[in-house]
Structure 1
Amino acid sequence: MSNFLSTGVSGLLAFQRALATTSHNIANSNTVGFSRQQAMLVARQGLGTSMTGQGTEVGNVRRIYDQHLVAQVQGNTSSLSRLNAFHSLSSQVDELLASGGRGVGTMMQDFFNALDSVADDPSSLITREAFLGQARAMTQRFEQADSRLNSLDRDVNAKVSNSVSEINALAQSIADINRQISSTGGAGQAANDLLDQRDVLLTRLNEHVSVSTVTQNNGSLNVYIGNGLALVRGSSAESLQTVQNEYDPTRLGVKFANGPDISNRLTGGTIGGALDFRREVLDPARNALGRLANAFTETLNTQHRKGIDLLGAQGEDLFSVGLPASLAASTNSGSATVTVSIADLNVLTTDDYVMRYDGAAWSLENSETGVPVPMTGSGTAADPFVANGIEIEVGAGATAGDRYLLRPNGNAAAGMDLLITDPARLAAATAVIASQSTANLGDAQISIGDVVDSSDPNLLDPVTITFVDPNNYLIGASGPFAYTSGDPIQMNGWSVEISGTPQAGDSFDVTANSAGSADNRNVLRLSELQSLGVLDNGSSSLSDSFGTLVASVGTVTQHAGINREAQEMLLANAEQARLSVSGVNLDEEAANLLRYEQAYQAAAQVVSVADNLFQTLIGAVAR
């Protein structure tokens, strides 16, 4: 009789728990990350040699869960967060560079259009003033573009800082849940809910940085970032901190407390996307913009110095730019100074470099790839190191291990400025002009003259070329020199060509151009610089360089957008796959409620029958 009663009671208890589990599923049907649970009923073993069963019990509450699907959700979450951060930042650079109206490209075109207007009327102060206005607007646009890029660098800092705070909070929460799980032995309904909560925290952690995990025997989980760096060990969580870049304190990286910078090891999530943007888009764009500013300034200044202004003075520099930067590592113990300057635009790249001293010699490497860069020279002022279009001068006082980050183009756009404010100072005319004597007897003609070296101190001195016979000529009192028709004749920084057959006594004069001249040759030369190959070994013009920059950033941004859309679909599919296994189906749970309710009622009927039989037996004994 007692077995009959206890069997019924076991059913009541088991189905009561099954009903509770089903109710728990229904209550959490909209809980993020919840995995449905199932009460696993098992038969109780008979006692002794009895073959009669002892009823049922709940062996365990099973968590319906697929680790592979959850890992896919977490991995896709990390990838999508990275792409969201990367694309949101890179699209701002793309918009900045590719924008019409007031963009850098448009302002450059307006600048050269204004030069063409000066060429049409070189003596007009109105067109000259309009040109200076366009030149000023263009330099301001370069500065504004660099300022906006600098602002995006601060946005990267903010994303890194915010993510570090979130990671620390999430890591501590995971460690706390690990402690609770290990104390329960990793089993039971309570542990199932804790496991779900931990998975939600891990998914949120992946929004900030890519992680990997290892499950321990006690059910706790170790969490790793940056390819094996422990963030959580059981119930203990490490703390991350932001750290100033060793070369540039305005830039933030990530480190463990009392540890080195680990920024280069972090991937995925918001941090990975922000740091990838800085490395793949921001720095290259800023350097390319700086190289363009360097090339623009140097080529136009060089040509402008070959001209003469309305006041009769030789042309001066039109623009200035920010100087190349040399940033000493914060760990340096020496006192040496390293100075960088632009030497050759044709081979100047957009790269940054790291200069190292090993105690005996200096070496140079690409800051991004670490690939060694060969240098010539000895590093002195008289014989500087030369590499990839830059010159490097190193001072005394370096110690072994000292390092310097060299940024040839990084500051150029920020420091771009117009130096000429007086429209009369625009050197539209070429500095020299050649002419021939009206008394010449031969048919030889001289070109109008061009400047090849504006730094020659005798450039504007008058010079007469006199033929002593048809085959020889004097330059002033120098010579004679053999004459070949069409060959260039160079002197005092200028060059002319004489073609034809001169006669003895024929003369040609090369003199300084006159003040107020309507000559537009130099301004035409300035305008031609827009399409002249001055970069990449002569293969890229100023316009080409900017176009390449815009196309490069646009392509990267477009690919990031496409990849982001694809990643959104992958995450949605992964989440749907997880829900198909672990999600709560309310129809199914309603059916389970009905099934368990009926079973509970049947078990109650068993108890009732046992009670009736017991009461009948008691009554019979009482009589």
Structure 2
Amino acid sequence: MPSIFDALNIGTSGLNVAQNAINITGNNVANANTPGYTDESPTITESYPTNTPTGQYGLGATIQTITSSRNQLLDSTLNQQLNSQAYYQTLNDNLSQIQNIFNETKGTGLATALNNFFSSWQTLSSSPDLATARGQVIQSGQTLVQAIQSSYSSLQQLNSNLNSQVVSNINQINTLTKNIANINDEIKLASLSPSQSANTLIDQRNQLVQQLQKIANVTVLSNTYSSGSQGQSIGANQNEMTILLGGMPIVSGINSTNLTTQASSSGKNVDVVFNGQAITNKITGGSLGAVIQLANQTSPSNSSNPSAPNTINYMDTLNTLANSIINQVNILHSGGSGLSAYTQTQGTYALTSASNPVSQSEQAGVNLPIKDGTLSVNVYDSNNNLVNTVSIAIGSNDSFSTISQKFNNALGQYGISMSLSGISQGNVQITSNNGNQFSFAGDTSNFLASVGINTFFRGTNASNIGVNSVVANDQSKIAAGESLSPGDNSNALAIANLQTQNVMDSNTQTINQYYESFVGQIGSLAQSNQNILNSQNSMVSQTQSLVQSQEGVSLDQEAANLIKYQMAYQASAQFISIVNQMTQSLINMVQ
């Protein structure tokens, strides 16, 4: 039969249990507003009983474990939602910047510059000899160039900022993974026996994992919990956590591996590297996934730097637009004549070889191959009297040597010759040596535009487009017609009509329609992304509320628990007081 001293032990165990339970309750209350804190509760069990002939007698109570209310499945769901939320939030923030780059609402954007440019050619066609009309063409051309280059520079700056964000995010990941590995080690030491728990460390680690999930689409493999989905007990394998990024283990138990960054093979963006292996294209979620996607979309694409499916490459689209404007205007302008003839002129695009086909030797990268056609040249004497119009047949596979030989054979008698500056590469030059002059009366082969002779624009894309210095410095060289005859407006009218011709997207859109479609896509994508973000925000809010209801501290419940444990403490103290009186009575009886 249990002795009276067993009764004292029972009372003492009750006091200890109640006191520790009150401490746990107090800790919950103190951390009610601590981010990531999970409500804890004592698992109270009966102490092992003593056996007697009349049966088993209990020997009080003990706290077996301190149980966390964390729900692993719910936490995993929230982390996935936070990953998506961070992805769409980052897209949303940067799409707003892109919308501002191509903002057409104030009438000062690229669409306005395009309209004004073609309108100036229309005005010139009405007065092809008027100096003010020619000056307006130059001014509108320079304004268009500035609008294109401004958009390009803004995209370039955004791309630079995005690549800086990649480096910053990788530094954050490395800090987080190092801290997670350190906490794994602490959890291992704090959990040497199944009865020990490391709830505080587990909460801290889960906060770090959540921050990591917001940055990138990591996969967390863990044996952190060992029982059901509601009141989770802490098991002995709490430190066994592996975190993968792109299939690579950036955390493995108590070890972490730092990621590094390096310039991509294209040299345009930053690659994320794990132990010498680039894993950039495997990072598709979180803020880092969005930043990588946008960095690809704001730099010219190539085989090693693809944009995400069903997305717009903003830089490629702007370059395509600029290249088409350059080529389409130059094709017409190069085959026309201004108010004055040339005695010497030089192309703006360098050829790498005189013997290879011209279309294969355009070092400047103009996407304008020559084709089978005819180049016509007007020859004038020193008094601007037309001497002759000479036509030269050009083939699509002709080399510069072949073309210059044909040209010189046909025009050499007038002292006009074609040559190539430099030996290994250079610009095409046409020169008159005997007082005659020349202009151009049409070029259906695109040769002049391809090498940059008598063109309105120079450059190849949005980064280097400009007005050809020849026409910028001498308005008389604006090719409004096909001859020096006063009032010839045929070329100006043709260039003005480019605005209504389908020259873009496999000849299905005009230049304006192509750009308007591009701006419309940006707006549509931004709105669609905003809608998804709003939905994602709602989902995160609902899940966070559910997490708080299951894992967070309920002050009402803690107040009830406090009263319960206080009464238990008082009852145990009363019990000990009674046992003490019994003991005193027993001692008095013995005396």
Same fold, TM exceeding 0.5? yes
8 Å CA contact 2:350, 2:363 repeated in 1? no
Give the aligned partner of residue 306 of structure 1: 335
State the Cα distance separating 1:552 from its structure 2 match.
2.2
Q: Does 1:183 align with 2:202?
A: no
| 2:318 alignment partner, one of 284, 289, 304 | 289
Give the aligned partner of residue 466 of structure 1: none
Q: Does 1:196 align with 2:214?
A: no
State the Cα distance separating 1:423 from its structure 2 match.
2.1
The C-alpha deviation readout for 1:353-376, integer Å capped at 9, x for no partner, is: xxxxxxxxxxxxxxxxxxxxxxxx
**SS in structure 2 at match of 1:264:** helix
8 Å CA contact 2:163, 2:269 repeated in 1? yes
Give the aligned partner of residue 546 of structure 2: 577
Distance 2:113 2:195 in 1: 69
State the Cα distance separating 1:316 from its structure 2 match.
8.6
| 1:62 alignment partner, one of 48, 52, 67 | 67
The C-alpha deviation readout for 1:479-529, integer Å capped at 9, x for no partner, is: xxxxxxxxxxxxxxxxxxxxxxxxxxxxxxxxxx42xx1222211111001
| 2:367 alignment partner, one of 318, 339, 342 | 342
| 2:562 alignment partner, one of 558, 572, 593 | 593
Q: Does 1:424 align with 2:494?
A: no
State the Cα distance separating 1:228 from its structure 2 match.
2.1
Tell me the TM-score normalised to structure 2 length.
Answer: 0.74
**SS in structure 2 at match of 1:31:** coil
> What amino acid does structure 2 have at the position aligned with 1:237?
S
Farther off after superposition, 181-190 or 417-426: 181-190
Give the aligned partner of residue 495 of structure 1: none
**SS in structure 2 at match of 1:213:** strand
**SS in structure 1 at match of 2:271:** strand
The C-alpha deviation readout for 1:139-196, integer Å capped at 9, x for no partner, is: 1111111111111111111111111111111101100110111112276686011111
Aligned alpha-carbon RMSD (Å)? 3.0
Q: Does 1:167 align with 2:170?
A: no
Give the aligned partner of residue 274 of structure 1: 291
| 1:48 alignment partner, one of 40, 46, 51 | 51
Return closer, same or farther for 1:39/1:345 CA change in 2, 3 Å cut-off.
farther
| 1:262 alignment partner, one of 276, 279, 298 | 279
| 1:245 alignment partner, one of 264, 289, 299 | 264
* Structure 2, gaps ≥5 residues long: 224-235, 301-312, 353-361, 372-395, 402-423, 425-458
State the Cα distance separating 1:429 from its structure 2 match.
2.0
Return closer, same or farther for 1:66/1:344 CA change in 2, 3 Å cut-off.
farther
8 Å CA contact 2:350, 2:364 repeated in 1? no
> What amino acid does structure 2 have at the position aligned with 1:42?
T
Count of aligned positions: 468
**SS in structure 1 at match of 2:63:** strand
| 1:219 alignment partner, one of 214, 238, 242 | 238
Q: Does 1:564 align with 2:533?
A: yes
**SS in structure 2 at match of 1:193:** helix
8 Å CA contact 2:366, 2:460 repeated in 1? no
State the Cα distance separating 1:279 from its structure 2 match.
3.3
The C-alpha deviation readout for 1:366-419, integer Å capped at 9, x for no partner, is: xxxxxxxxxxx99x999xxxxxxxxxxxx9xxxxxxxxxxxxxx9711000001
Farther off after superposition, 268-277 or 280-289: 280-289
Q: Does 1:236 align with 2:255?
A: yes
Distance 1:141 1:544 in 2: 17
Distance 1:34 1:590 in 2: 18
Distance 2:125 2:475 in 1: 14
State the Cα distance separating 1:345 from its structure 2 match.
11
Distance 1:381 1:11 in 2: 102
Return closer, same or farther for 1:202/1:91 CA change in 2, 3 Å cut-off.
same
Matches within 5 A, 1:133-148: 133-148=139-154
Distance 2:58 2:553 in 1: 33
State the Cα distance separating 1:299 from its structure 2 match.
0.8
Distance 2:400 2:587 in 1: 117
Return closer, same or farther for 1:290/1:323 CA change in 2, 3 Å cut-off.
farther
8 Å CA contact 1:40, 1:60 repeated in 2? yes
Give the aligned partner of residue 124 of structure 2: 118
Structure with more helix by fraction: 2
Identity between Structure 1 and Structure 2 (%): 25
Distance 1:585 1:322 in 2: 76
- After superposing on structure 2, the runs of 4+ consecutive aligned residues of structure 1 that deviate more than 4 Å are 186-190, 280-283, 312-317, 319-324, 337-341
Return closer, same or farther for 1:24/1:63 CA change in 2, 3 Å cut-off.
same
> What amino acid does structure 1 have at the position aligned with 2:250?
L
